[in-house]
Structure 1
Amino acid sequence: MTQKQVAVVGGGVVGVCTAYFLAEAGHDVVVIERHQNVAQEASFAHGGMVAPGYAAPWASPGMPKRILSQLFRAEAPVRLKPSLDRTMWHWVRRWMAECELERYRINRSRMQRLALYSRDILRQMRDYYQIDYEQTQGVLQLFRTEKDRLLAAPGIELLAENGLPHEILDAEGVRAIEPALASDTPLAGGIYLPQDEAGNCPLFTKRLKQIASSIGVQFHFTSTVHAIETESRGVALQIDEGRYPADAVVVAAGIDSASLLKPLGIHVPMYPVTGYSATAHIKNFEHAPQAAVVDEAYRVAITRLGGRVRIAGTAELGARSDALRDRALRTLLKVGSDWFPDAANYSQANFWTGIRPMLPDGPPLIGATPVRNVFVNIGHGSNGWTMAAGSGKVLADVISGYAPDIDMDGLTLSRYG
């Protein structure tokens, strides 16, 4: 391996994991982040799920019909803001094509391959460095109705085919695992994923930043990369008022990655989908969730992060601002109150909204691009925390000239070639 000077653009959990593994492989690494610290955007206050068994593309059988039926409800998992944006409608068409059963099976298998590897890498890092990130064990999917269970059937089949440990439960079995669930909310059953987990993503990312710094990674905050230019022996980054050379660059800048790559002739069908979360301090620990649950009807996760409970989910297309929208927040609070009404004062919750960089088919894009010395680690959608460690390790191997530990089929730019 030849040591390289590598610039990583983006200080989210994916970028920091990438920087750590590049430095561990012997490279000279710098992370360039426009905020004042790591994990300040998509990594900041999402649901915290590290769940390979639950990792799935948003494009799934029955999803278009489900979205249309719920568009005008007061509380709904998806909101499509009317827009004349051609880019959005082009993305929606591509997304709908990926909702076919066979495409869903292919995409989910690709995501789970990476997610399982990533979970193993994360655990190795956690054990080696003794990192505590308020992790909890186990994820419980809740079905309010038999219809919810039927919509989840293709995913359940893949769990069995891929040998992922899971338990299919009736309502009584669900309540045995999570006894604090409210008794008056309809419950048709659920799936328990004992090896999945949840945790505090920003806490982990900040700890990993300290570890990465100790092995030589430099972090440059409040610095914005405006352009990437190719040179005969590497690349040059236009950062604010300066121009800085490097042997290679990794673009891991979330939704901003698309605009950085476009001038280089690299076009990725990534679209910003807005998600929301509410975080409240637990007032009655005996009435709070023990781990993580997901309401399949609303696609909302409820996780336990130390002394807090976080409710996260909903998806909004066509919103171009970071405004907190009442309809999305009502959905979160309804789900929290339905399942754990006495756990926290939800009216005093802290609310957050962030952008998920979504690809129409689901799996991220990792590896080389057609432009020499330009690499990507992008498009993880709502699964960035689930896939971050594995994505960083894989990309570090690619840049170092090593064969990755997993099959990269369907996880590179070639799938759009």
Structure 2
Amino acid sequence: MDVIVIGGGIAGVATAYHLRAAGHRVCVVERHATVAQGATYGHGGTLLPTPLDVWFGPTFMASRQNAKNGVVNRSGFSGPARQFVRQLAELQEPNAFGHQYGLLRPLVELSRDTIAGMEARSGLEFEQTSGLLYLVRSHEEWEQLRPALGLLRHYEVPHHELTPEQCASFEHSVRTEPEFAGGVLFDQERTGNSPLFTKLIKQTLDMEGGVQFMLGREVSGIRLEGQRASVELTSRPDAGSRSREVDVIHADCVVVAAGYGSLTLLERLGLRLPLYPLRLHTLVAPIAHEECAPHVAIVDAVKRIAISRMNHRLRIAGGAVLQNAKDIDKPLGEAVTEEALALLGQATHDWIPGAARISAALPWEGVRLLSPDGLPVIGNALHPRLFVNAGHGPAGWGLACGSGKLIADLISGTTPEVPDDTLAALRAERFR
């Protein structure tokens, strides 16, 4: 079949990869001049989420004091946004959290297998390293993590619960002063460079053929007509008064994987998804002192700030601001942005003092979508020819690889490699 994928981030490019592997012809439409320029560009290094850092559960926004949970600002919410926060809060209850993570876990494991296959097939080197050390500040926070630790044991996830002294012994950059509660080590989990991975996949597709990339083109609308689907494109910036080079392109089906840009396109078709924008921040800082730099990724387990090493620099990601959906295109106030970036810098100083030159760090901010039940939206929606792959949230960019494989299976008529309850929990129809 001919398939149009809207979006050139990790979700769109991974979807194109698996569609091509299944024998389909693919056209990827991306509004930027190259791939991985939107939310993918600022992803933290963590490949796959664990129960400790999914963006729902007992520790996510559990405190009313924003500084304690890593969500910088939540003021001025509309009614729908407040309802969104209330729905997420329901997943703080341990049984609800365990049930929801149980639905997500098959996608995590599918993504793990999928990434391994992509690496082996193409020999990818994307600054991947093994080892994640989650650190917990207080005994109160450690108690909040108990349900997540229980899930690790239930699913037999390889991990080690460490005392502060053991944390410092394993990772020399971590200090035991001031005191903290302890940590959880995942020596088999990995980090990697998301934009580099995405660009390497594009290079592979360019060499092998069968996938066309239409870069610098923006989608203005989608048409669904019987057995065919079409995508309308805005004119090229340099088209002037001349006839537009491409107006409409046709295919057998369309996959919407355009990040927060997916919302407007789907709303025009009558599909309103209750996904809300999270404004995430990233600092890329040069290493200040090599002897202070960590050899594994450091994650603040409650504030959900990830610090991963990539060659001679550190990528520090987090500092979330939950916005009203109607404010998605409005810039944050300077004070809020400064507060978010200060949160990243402070976390780096707290856990690995002397490791990063924060004064020379390059800041980035971008939007990621989060659903009120913490799960992405993956699958067919509204029309047999329309598919959605969005709402992955900030926890683990590798989920996009598993979701791309899932979309390719659904379009190909292949039985997906996840159980039926997970498949149903990911579909857009769950919000009706």
Query: What's the TM-score once normalised by structure 1's chain length?
Result: 0.93
Equivalent residue number for residue 239 of structure 2: none
Kept in 2, the 8 Å contact 1:5–1:246? The answer is: yes
Q: Are 1:212 and 2:205 matched, yes or no?
A: yes
Q: Tell me what 1:22 maps to.
A: 19
Q: CA deviation at 1:85?
A: 3.1
Task: Letter of the 1:378 partner, please give it.
Answer: A
Is 2:277 aligned against 1:272? yes
Deviates more, 1:91-100 or 1:400-409: 91-100
CA drift of 1:267 comes to: 2.2
What SS class does the counterpart of residue 280 from structure 1 fall into?
A: strand
Q: 2:314: which partner in 1?
A: 309
How far apart are residue 312 of structure 1 and its match?
Answer: 0.9
Provide the rounded CA distance (Å) in 1 between the counterparts of 2:158 and 2:4: 39
Which is worse superposed, 326-335 or 93-102? 93-102
Distance 1:98 1:183, change over 3 A: closer
Q: 1:167: Cα distance to partner?
A: 0.8
Which of 234, 252, 258 lines up with 1:240 in the alignment?
A: 234
Out of 3, 7, 12, the position equivalent to 1:10 is: 7
From 84, 89, 94, the counterpart of 1:101? 94
Q: Distance in 1 between matches of 2:360 and 2:131?
A: 27
Match of 2:220 in 1: 226
> What is the alpha-carbon distance in structure 1 between the residues aligned to residue 414 and residue 302 of structure 2?
43
Of all paired residues, the percent bearing the same amino acid is: 36
Residues 76, 314 of structure 1: 8 Å contact kept: no
Question: How far apart are the structure 2 equivalents of 1:115 and 1:42?
Answer: 20
1:150 partner amino acid: E
Partner SS for 2:426: coil
Equivalent residue, structure 2, for 1:283:
288
Letter in 1 for 2:197: F
Q: Secondary structure at the match of 2:42?
A: coil
Deviations 1:257-315 (A, max 9, x none): 12111222222111101111111111322210112111124221111111111111121
Query: Quick check: 1:51–1:139 contact (8 Å CA) kept in 2?
Result: no
User: Within 2, Cα distance between the matches of 1:401 and 1:276?
Assistant: 39
Alignment check: 8 A CA contact 1:55 1:111 kept: no
Match of 2:354 among 323, 328, 342: 342
Give the alignment of 1:76-225 within 5 angstroms: 77-83=70-76, 85-215=78-208, 216-225=210-219
1:380 Cα deviation from its structure 2 partner: 0.3
Q: 1:198 to 1:131 in 2, by over 3 A?
A: same
CA contact (8 A) 2:55 2:393 kept: no
**C-alpha root-mean-square deviation of aligned residues, in Å?**
1.8
Rounded Cα–Cα distance in structure 1 between residues aligned with 2:294 and 2:61: 31
1:98/1:360 contact within 8 Å kept: no
- The offset of 1:388, in angstroms, is 1.4
Q: CA shift at 1:84, angstroms? A: 5.1
Q: CA deviation at 1:81?
A: 4.0
Q: CA–CA distance in 2 between the matches of 1:314 and 1:118?
A: 26
SS in 1 for 2:254: strand
| 8 Å Cα contact 2:277/2:322 also seen in 1 | yes
Is 1:353 the counterpart of 2:365? The answer is: yes
Instruction: Tell me, in whole angstroms, the C-alpha distance in 1 between the residues paired with 2:23 and 2:69.
Output: 48
Query: Aligned partners of 1:134, 1:208: CA distance in 2, in Å?
Result: 14
Specify which of 397, 400, 405 is matched with residue 388 of structure 1: 400
Answer yes or no: is the 8 Å Cα contact 1:53–1:196 preserved in 2: no
Superposition deviation, residue 404 in structure 1: 1.1
State the distance in 2 between where 1:137 and 1:114 align: 20
SS of the aligned residue for 2:40 comes to coil
1:410 aligns with 2:425: yes
What is the distance in 2 between the residues matched to 1:62 and 1:384?
A: 17
User: How far has the Cα of 1:136 moved from its partner?
Assistant: 1.2
Q: In structure 1, what is the equivalent of residue 45 of structure 2?
A: 48
Return the offset for 1:86: 3.5
| Cα deviation code 1:79-122 (max 9, x no counterpart) | 23432534322322322233332221122222222112212211
SS at match of 1:372: strand
Which residue, 262, 268, 272 being the options, matches 1:263? 268
Q: How far does residue 409 in structure 1 lie from its aligned partner after superposition?
A: 4.1
Q: Match for residue 57 of structure 2? A: 60
* Paired amino acid for 2:24: H
Instruction: Kindly provide the amino acid, as one letter, of the partner of residue 339 in structure 2.
Output: R
The letter of the residue matching 2:113 is D
Relative distance call for 1:383 and 1:76 in structure 2 (3 A) is closer
**Which one is further off, 393-402 or 340-349?**
340-349
Question: Is structure 2 residue 385 aligned with structure 1 residue 368?
Answer: no
Whole-angstrom distance in 1 between the partners of 2:396 and 2:165: 33
Alignment length (residue pairs)? 410
How many Å apart are 1:63 and its aligned residue? 4.1
Aligned to 1:395, what secondary structure does the other structure show?
helix
Q: Tell me how far apart the structure 1 counterparts of residues 100 and 94 of structure 2 sit (CA, whole Å).
A: 10
Aligned to 2:240: none
TM-score (normalised: structure 2)? 0.90
Rate the CA distance shift 1:55–1:148 in 2: closer, same or farther, 3 A.
closer
Q: Give the 3-state SS of the residue equivalent to 1:360 in structure 2.
A: coil
Secondary structure of the residue aligned to 1:373 is: strand
- Give ranges in structure 2 of 5+ residues lacking alignment: 236-246
Question: Aligned partners of 2:48, 2:298: CA distance in 1, in Å?
Answer: 11
What is the CA distance between 1:64 and its match in structure 2? 4.6
Q: Is the 8 A contact 2:55 2:395 kept in 1?
A: no
